[in-house]
């Protein structure tokens, strides 16, 4: 009796095992080729290679395994599972406690430009995420970095910075994103997507809140007496001592409600109202005691009542975020002198 490809319920056990080994082979071939861009095309690649090999398909439907073949096949299967189990038991590239110890967070990092034609709707999405987080007490921290590789001689994005472009390139290289373009989103340094996939952005931003933070950030922030900068003293809890010198602490200053009228360039005559706009960023490494200090100088024109500092603990090799906190500049005077790790829960409207 002929068996149609894909009819798993009609295959004999030995044929199913051989078919499974063949799928593993083709899955590896597709993975090494790197021609797929998502889960659907990856599955399609494996299925295509599988169906094109008529000799192997014929063998699946007509060949009966001998006793010796069954023994060899069983050995191969056991070896494969042993290797898989060994791979899963390896330690992650960052060494932290197995269980999360801090409050869950979702850092949604957008990369945009005022010269990006298809980024006009991005501020609306950022505003929606920010408003929902502030009104409902969610620890979702949207940040919008303006890249500099899309600047034109006739119109330069005044918020663009080479360091932000480098950050996007590092994310793209680490996560295997082939094209570095504006409009890309990275969530907790783990997921990436186009901002125009609004439903996906919201879904993964929510999904990130399901996992507790690997570390706790205790901080004490003090405003400079003349109001020109903020100094943040921090202590990281939960990260293994041996990994502390190799972990990065980043403070990102952002501002919301920034209105910009564009008079030149591809977005001529457009009016942007920016939210989560990154105005400054400083990164430092800390010692084995898990403590450090960072200072951010305020740029010209910053409205402190609309600004916040997002604190990030990140593993530079994997770019995964281990912990995050947010400080609102308007609340610094009311903060306790004791280091703490809390986010103001009072709603704000920008």
**Radius of gyration of the chain, Cα coordinates, nearest whole angstrom:** 25
Query: Confidence class of residue 164 from pLDDT cuts 50, 70 and 90?
Result: very high
Residue 335 has pLDDT above 90, yes or no: no
pLDDT at 321 over 80: yes
Residues whose CB is less than 8 angstroms from the CB of residue 211 and which lie 6 or more positions away in sequence, other chains included: 100, 104
How many angstroms separate the CA atoms of 17 and 21, rounded?
6
Range 243-263 average pLDDT: 93
SS3 readout for the chain: CCCCCCCHHHCCHHHHHHHHHHHHHHHHHHHHHCCCCCHHHHHHHHHHHHHHCHHHHHHHHHCCCCHHHHHHHHHHHHHHHHHHHHHHCCCCCCCECCCCCECCCEEEEEEECCCCHHHCCHHHHHHHHHHHHHHHCCCEEEEEEECCCCCCCCCCCCCECHHHHHHHHHHHHHHCCCCCCCCEEEECCCEEEECCCHHHHHHHHHHHHHCCECCEEEEEEEECCCCCEEEEEEEEECECHHHHHHCEEEEEEEECCEEEECCCCCCCCCEEEECCEEEEEEEEECCCCCEEEEEEECCCCCCHHHEEEEEEEECCCCCCEEEEEEEEHHHHHHCCCCCECCCCCCCCCC
Taking Cα atoms as reference points, which of 121, 164, 167 lies closest to residue 146? Answer: 164
User: Is the per-residue pLDDT at 19 higher than 50?
Assistant: no
pLDDT band at 41 (very low <50, low <70, confident <90, very high): very low
Q: Strands 184-187 and 106-112, how do they pair?
A: antiparallel
Q: Has residue 165 got a pLDDT over 50?
A: yes
pLDDT, tens only, 80-105? 545 444 433 333 333 334 467 899 99
Domains of the chain: 9-88 (no CATH), 106-334 (2.60.40.10)
Q: Would you mind telling me the total number of residues written for the chain in this entry? A: 350
- Statement: residue 217 has pLDDT above 60: yes
What mean pLDDT do residues 254-271 have?
93
Among 188, 209, 214, CA closest to 101: 214
Rounded Cα gap, residues 220 and 325, in angstroms: 12
Q: Confidence band (pLDDT; 50, 70, 90) for 277?
A: very high
Q: Which of 146-155, 202-211, 247-256, 280-289 has the lowest mean pLDDT?
A: 146-155
């Amino acid at each position: 009796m002929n068996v149609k490809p894909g009819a798993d319920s009609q295959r004999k056990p030995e044929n199913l095992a051989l078919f499974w080994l063949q799928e593993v082979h083709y899955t590896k071939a597709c993975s090494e080729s790197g021609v797929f861009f998502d889960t659907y095309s990856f599955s399609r690649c494996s299925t295509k290679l599988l169906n094109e090999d008529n000799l192997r398909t014929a063998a699946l439907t007509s060949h009966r395994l001998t006793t010796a073949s069954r023994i060899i096949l069983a050995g191969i299967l056991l070896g494969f599972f042993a290797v898989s189990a060994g791979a899963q038991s390896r330690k992650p590239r960052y060494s932290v406690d197995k269980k999360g110890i801090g409050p869950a967070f979702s850092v949604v990092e957008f990369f945009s430009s005022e010269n990006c034609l298809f980024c006009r709707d991005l501020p609306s999405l950022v505003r929606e995420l920010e408003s929902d987080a502030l009104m409902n007490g969610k620890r979702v921290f949207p940040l919008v970095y303006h890249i500099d590789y899309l600047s034109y001689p006739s119109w330069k994005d005044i918020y663009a910075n080479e360091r932000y472009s480098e950050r996007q390139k590092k994310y793209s290289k680490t996560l295997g994103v082939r094209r570095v373009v504006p409009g890309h989103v990275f969530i907790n340094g783990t997921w990436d997507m186009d901002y125009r996939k609004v439903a996906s952005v919201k879904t993964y931003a929510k999904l990130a809140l399901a996992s507790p933070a690997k570390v706790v950030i205790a901080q004490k922030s003090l405003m400079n007496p003349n109001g020109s900068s903020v100094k943040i003293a921090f202590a990281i809890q939960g990260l293994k001592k041996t990994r502390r010198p190799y972990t990065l602490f980043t403070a990102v200053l952002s501002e919301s409600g920034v209105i910009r009228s564009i008079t030149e360039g591809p977005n001529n005559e457009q009016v942007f109202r920016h939210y989560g706009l990154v105005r400054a960023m400083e990164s430092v490494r800390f010692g084995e005691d898990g403590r450090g200090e960072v200072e951010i100088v305020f740029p010209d024109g910053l409205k402190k009542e609309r600004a916040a500092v997002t604190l990030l603990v990140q593993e530079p090799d994997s770019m995964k975020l281990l912990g995050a906190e947010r400080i609102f500049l308007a609340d610094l005077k009311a903060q306790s002198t004791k280091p703490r790790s809390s986010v103001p829960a009072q709603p704000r409207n920008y």
